[in-house]
């Protein structure tokens, strides 16, 4: 790599591409856990908190966020709500694990700072972690900077609190002494162990949980990728070169991205390099990957219950019960997860994440829409909720953000009827414009070009009644769209 100036400029790289299926039915492919507020007492979503907890650190620059292309507008909107304009939002056509994502982010970071000849430090963060003691986390980052400047690679090793079987483990060359914030060279990595093995590992001070968080210079990680997996670097360089600008997003070239090997940065680099160091981290860290892990970090009542929404509990212990709409009455339960959403209910033992994974596979095999999609669907202009549906009709509630507009479009198999509930709607039907308010309506015949806009500074809510022999979301032809779809 070309020589560049070492610097204390830190670029947070936020990996937000996961699907979070082990938190079904709340988290689904259409709206996964990193975009949710999972804790009762939190103001921000997981993604927002990931950046908020490090934004005030000295030298911290705007983030680079990597997400699935389907979630681009969700990411953009959530960053806008916390007044953050990312350096880049990079869109993956599909998940290819962390090695390609981090390699592309490192290349992009060098490109962003190329005019200043700066080799930035990258702080790799996952968008689905919980950290309680922010000051300790900040200190661990600060204590890692000099190591990164010297060209070495830091992985944050969390001090184990219990024999976790859902995390990988890191064995360091020396004892993990979190009080002194001393790093040690990585000896080896251990894949997720069984309970018996995990119980033995946590008794040895040399072992820590693999947090999946890293810190290193952009050039340092690229040099290691080049040494151990040159094909990944080559494919990622080609992918970035062939990427295209899509509004505020950088859309990766699909063909060259699919050529990238599907492999983690741990296996691709950290298990091979001699430059890996473990930074001890004892800051109340949790990877919220399952309902049981969410229960562990949530506030509980005196009987160990965590509840949210319309929930009435009697003679219930150590359970997580969450309602979005309906009243849930729990009597005589113990160690259970009960989750109610608009279209699905989960009742399971707390430790049944693998069984849930199998159940989701069966749902997908049977083509059940609830496996991956919510009834509430987010769009760049707002959202829509499917209220009721028959074979030839469907009723939706549509929310249009202030100043937003749907595309100029046409349907081949359905007609539509719009009734405004609140706000003001500007409609364009067959070339004719009309402004309508509450209790007013318009009809859109099959095959007619139409568009719906909110010209005001206030939200617009309307009911849409669809009628036709096919009601799928793919029955749409767009002629103009401000969001580039």
- Tokens 């829409």 found at: 369
What does the H/E/C string look like for 209-263? EEEEEEEEEHHHHHHHHHHHCHHHHHHHHHHHHCCEEECCEEECCHHHHHCCCCC
Is 131:182 a contact under the CB 8 Å cutoff? no
Distance from the Cα of residue 300 to its chain's centroid: 26
- Tokens 């008794």 found at: 203
CA dist., res. 427 & res. 409, Å (int): 12
At residue 2, the pLDDT reads 47
Among candidate residues 108, 133, 140, the one with its CA nearest the CA of residue 122 = 108
Strands (DSSP E) contained in 282-367 are 285-287, 306-308, 311-314, 320-323, 328-331, 336-340, 345-349
Phi, psi of 411 (to 5 degrees): -115, 145
Sign of torsion, CA 199 201 202 204?
Answer: positive
At residue 177, the pLDDT reads 56
Mention the CATH class of domain 5-286. Answer: alpha beta
CA dist., res. 139 & res. 128, Å (int): 21
Q: 272 is written with which tokens?
A: 């091979």
Is 288:294 a contact under the CB 8 Å cutoff? yes
Q: 108 is written with which tokens?
A: 């992009």
Is 179:136 a contact under the CB 8 Å cutoff? no
Is 214:156 a contact under the CB 8 Å cutoff? yes
First to last CA, the chain: 37
Is 322:26 a contact under the CB 8 Å cutoff? yes
Task: Using alpha carbons, list the distances in angstroms from residue 161 to 174, 203, 282, 284.
Answer: 19, 10, 9, 9
Peptide bond between residue 36 and the one before it cis (omega within 30 degrees of 0): no
Q: 123 is written with which tokens?
A: 């702080």
Q: How confident is the model at residue 484 (pLDDT cuts 50, 70, 90)?
A: confident
Among the residue ranges 33-42, 143-152, 176-185, 395-404, the one predicted with the least confidence is 176-185
At residue 179, the pLDDT reads 47
Angle, vertex CA 313, rays to CA 307 and CA 316, nearest 5: 95
What are the pLDDT digits (tens) for 112-138?
998 888 899 999 999 999 999 999 999
Strands 5-15 and 64-68: parallel
Q: 213 is written with which tokens?
A: 């968080």
CA dist., res. 215 & res. 155, Å (int): 7
The SS3 of residue 282 is coil
Span 352-362, mean pLDDT?
90
> Is domain 376-480 in CATH 2.40.30.10, yes or no?
no
At residue 1, the pLDDT reads 46
What are the pLDDT digits (tens) for 171-205?
988 766 554 557 888 899 999 999 999 999 988 88
Phi, psi of 298 (to 5 degrees): -85, 155
Other C-beta atoms within 10 Å of 325: how many? 10
Q: 143 is written with which tokens?
A: 């204590």
Q: Any idea what DSSP says for residue 405? A: B
Which has more pLDDT, 481 or 66?
A: 66
At residue 5, the pLDDT reads 60
What are the pLDDT digits (tens) for 265-306?
999 999 999 999 999 999 999 898 899 999 998 999 999 999
Task: Using alpha carbons, list the distances in angstroms from residue 107 to 222, 224, 225, 350.
Answer: 8, 13, 12, 41
Strands 207-217 and 118-126: antiparallel
Whether 326 has a pLDDT exceeding 50, the answer reads: yes
What are the pLDDT digits (tens) for 17-49?
988 889 999 999 989 999 999 886 678 999 999
CA dist., res. 1 & res. 109, Å (int): 14
Q: Say which residues have a Cβ less than 8 Å from residue 188's Cβ, sequence separation at least 6.
A: 170, 171, 271
Among candidate residues 183, 108, 174, the one with its CA nearest the CA of residue 147 = 183
Among the residue ranges 114-123, 409-418, 430-439, the one predicted with the least confidence is 114-123
**In the Cβ-directed half-sphere of 378, how many Cα atoms lie within 13 Å?**
17
* pTM attached to this predicted model: 0.87
Q: 330 is written with which tokens?
A: 């729990």
Domain ranges of the chain: 5-286, 291-365, 376-480
Strands 184-190 and 169-172: antiparallel
Q: 181 is written with which tokens?
A: 């914030």
**Based on the number of CB atoms within 10 Å of its own CB, is 457 exposed (0-12), middle (13-18) or buried (19 or more)?**
exposed
At residue 93, the pLDDT reads 92
Task: Using alpha carbons, list the distances in angstroms from residue 181 to 146, 159, 178.
Answer: 13, 12, 5
At residue 183, the pLDDT reads 81
């Amino acid at each position: 790599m070309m020589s560049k100036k070492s610097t204390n400029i830190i670029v947070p790289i936020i990996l937000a591409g996961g699907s979070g299926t082990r938190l079904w039915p709340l988290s689904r492919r259409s709206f996964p856990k990193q975009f949710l507020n999972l804790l009762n007492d939190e103001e921000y979503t997981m993604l927002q908190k990931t950046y908020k907890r490090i934004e005030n650190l000295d030298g911290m620059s705007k983030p680079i966020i990597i997400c699935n292309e389907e979630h681009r507008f969700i990411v953009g909107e959530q960053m806008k709500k916390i007044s953050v304009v990312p350096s880049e939002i990079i869109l993956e056509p599909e998940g290819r694990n962390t090695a390609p994502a981090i390699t592309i982010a490192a290349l992009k970071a060098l490109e962003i700072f190329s005019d200043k000849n700066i080799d930035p430090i990258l702080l790799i963060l996952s968008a689905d972690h919980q950290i309680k003691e922010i000051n300790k986390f900040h200190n661990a980052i600060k204590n890692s900077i000099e190591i990164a400047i010297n060209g070495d690679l830091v992985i944050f090793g969390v001090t184990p609190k219990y024999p976790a079987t859902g995390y990988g483990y890191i064995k360091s060359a020396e004892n993990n002494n979190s009080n002194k914030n001393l790093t040690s060279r990585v000896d080896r990595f251990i894949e997720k162990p069984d309970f018996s093995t995990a119980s033995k590992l946590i008794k040895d001070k040399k072992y820590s949980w693999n947090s999946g968080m890293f810190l290193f210079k952009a050039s340092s990680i690229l040099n290691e990728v080049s040494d151990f997996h040159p094909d990944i670097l080559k494919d990622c360089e080609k992918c970035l070169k062939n990427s295209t600008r899509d509004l505020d997003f950088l859309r990766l070239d699909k063909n060259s991205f699919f050529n990238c090997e599907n492999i983690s940065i741990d296996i691709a680099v950290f298990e091979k390099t001699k430059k890996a160091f473990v930074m001890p981290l004892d800051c109340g860290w949790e990877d919220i990957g399952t309902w049981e892990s969410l229960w562990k970090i949530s506030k509980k009542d005196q009987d160990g219950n965590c509840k949210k929404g319309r929930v009435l509990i009697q003679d219930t212990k150590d359970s997580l019960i969450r309602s979005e709409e309906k009243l849930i009455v729990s009597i005589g339960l113990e160690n259970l997860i009960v989750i109610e959403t608009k279209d699905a209910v989960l009742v399971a033992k707390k430790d049944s994440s693998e069984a849930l994974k199998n159940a989701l596979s069966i749902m997908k095999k049977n083509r059940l829409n609830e496996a991956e999609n919510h009834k509430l669907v987010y769009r760049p202009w707002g959202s829509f909720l499917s209220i009721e549906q028959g074979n030839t009709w469907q009723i939706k509630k549509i929310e249009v953000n202030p100043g937003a507009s749907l595309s100029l479009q046409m349907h081949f198999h359905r007609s539509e009827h719009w009734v405004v509930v609140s706000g003001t709607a500007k409609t364009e039907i067959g070339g004719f414009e009309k402004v309508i308010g509450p209790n007013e309506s318009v009809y859109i015949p099959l095959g007619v070009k139409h568009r719906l806009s909110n010209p005001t500074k206030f939200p617009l809510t309307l009911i849409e009644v669809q009628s036709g022999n096919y009601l799928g979301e793919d029955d749409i032809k767009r002629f103009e769209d401000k969001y580039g779809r």
